[in-house]
Structure 1
Amino acid sequence: MADEIRAKLGLSQEMMGSWLGISRNSVALAEGVHRSWPLGTASQLIRLTLATLGLVYDPAGNRPAPPPLPPPAPDPAPIQARLAYCRHHAGRLRYELAQLQLKAAPHEARLAALPALRAFTGPVKNPAHEENWLALIEGEAEIALLYECGTGPQKLLEARIAGLEREAEVLRELLEELPAAPSQ
C-alpha cells in the first residue's frame, strides 16, 4: 500500500524514507515484503495515505483536507520562445513555398505546351530527334514536379506551415490566458 502511495505522489524511496524518518534501504526492504515497516512510521504512513484521499489525520476523527494547492502557472519564457520559433519557421517555409511555386511554373508550362508541339502535323526536319527532345523535356518536367517543386512537395510544405501556424495560435492563446506578471 505504501509503495502505491509513493508511486501516486511520485516520491523516490529516498524521499519516502525522509518523510518516514528511515533510510531508503528500509523503505526498499519494507516494500519488497522482506520485512514490516519500522516502528514509529505508522503515524506518518497514515497521514500520507489519508492526505492522498483528501483527508486530514486526526485521532478524534479524520476531517476533510483544505483545498489543494493550485498548480503553478506556466513560465511564459519557453512559451514565448517556442511561439517566436513557430512564427519564424512558418515565415521561412512560406518563402520556400513561394520559391517552389516559381520553380514549378516553367515545368508546368512545358507540360502545357507538349500536346500542341506533338499535335503538329507538318513536316519535321528530324522526327526521331524531335520526339526524343519532347520526351526529355516531359520527363524532366514530371520528375521536377513530382519530387522537387510540384503539388506534392508544395502540399507537404503547406502542411508544415499549417502545423506551425496552429501551434503558434495555441501558444498565443495560452500566453493571453496566463496571469499578468507582478510588477516589481
Structure 2
Amino acid sequence: MADEIRQKLGLTQELMSSWLGVSRVRVAQAESGQRSLPLGRAVQLVRLTLATLGLVYDPAGNRPAPPPLPAPAPDPEPLQSRLAHCAHHAGRLRYELEQLRLKAAPYEARLAALPALRAYTGPVKDAAREANWLALLEVEAETALLYDCGAGPQKLLEARIAGLEREAEVLRELLEKTAANTPVSN
C-alpha cells in the first residue's frame, strides 16, 4: 500500500520514510513485503492515503478535504524566449522559402520552354547533339526541382513555418492567459 501511495504522489523512499518517521530501509522492506511498518506509523500512512482520495483523516469520521492548492502559473520567461525563437526561425525559414522559389523559377522556365524547343520541325545543325542538350536541360531542371528547390522542398519548408507559427500562436495565448491571471503589484 505504501508503495502505491508513494508512486501516486511521486515520492522517493527517502521522502516517504521522512513522513512516516522510519528509515528508508524500513520503507523498502515494507514495500517488498519483508516487514510491515510499525503500528505507530499507520496513522501517518492512513492520513496520506486518505489525502490522495480527497479526504481528511478523523477518528470520529473522515471528512472532505479542503480544495486542492492551485498549480503555479507558468513562468513567462521561458515562454517568451521560445516565442522569440519561433518568430526568429519562422522568419529565417520564410526567407529561405523565398530563395527556393527564386531558385526554382529558372528550372520551371526550362520545363516550360522545352516542349516548344522540341516541337521545332525546322532544320538543325546536329539533331543528336541538340536532343542531348535538351535532355540535359530537362534532367537538370527535374533533379533540381525534385530534390533542391521545387514543390517538395518548398512544401517541407512551408510545413516547418506553419509548425513554428502555430507554436508561437499557442505561446502567445498562454502568455496572455498568464498575464491576465497575474495580479498587478504597485
Q: How does 1:98-113 map to 2 (within 5 A)?
A: 98-113=98-113
Q: TM-score, normalised by structure 1?
A: 0.97
Q: How does 1:78-93 map to 2 (within 5 A)?
A: 78-93=78-93
Runs of 5+ unmatched residues, structure 2: none
Which letter maps to 1:146? Answer: L
Change (3 A) 1:181 1:154: farther
Which letter maps to 1:166? Answer: R
Paired with 1:101 and 1:47, the residues of 2 have a C-alpha distance of 66
* RMSD, aligned CA: 1.0
Q: What secondary structure is seen at the aligned counterpart in 2 of 1:40?
A: helix
Q: TM-score, normalised by structure 2?
A: 0.96
| Runs of 4+ in structure 1 over 4 Å off | none
Aligned to 1:180: 182
Aligned to 1:7: 7
Runs of 5+ unmatched residues, structure 1: none
Aligned to 2:47: 47
Aligned residues: 184
Deviation for aligned residue 1:144: 0.1
Q: What secondary structure is seen at the aligned counterpart in 1 of 2:147?
A: helix
Cα distance per residue 1:15-69 (max 9 Å; x no partner): 0000001111110000000011123211100110111111111111111111110
Cα distance per residue 1:1-23 (max 9 Å; x no partner): 11111111000111000000111
**Greater shift in the superposed pair: 59-68 or 90-99:** 59-68
Q: Percent identity?
A: 78
Deviation for aligned residue 1:182: 4.2
Aligned to 2:156: 156
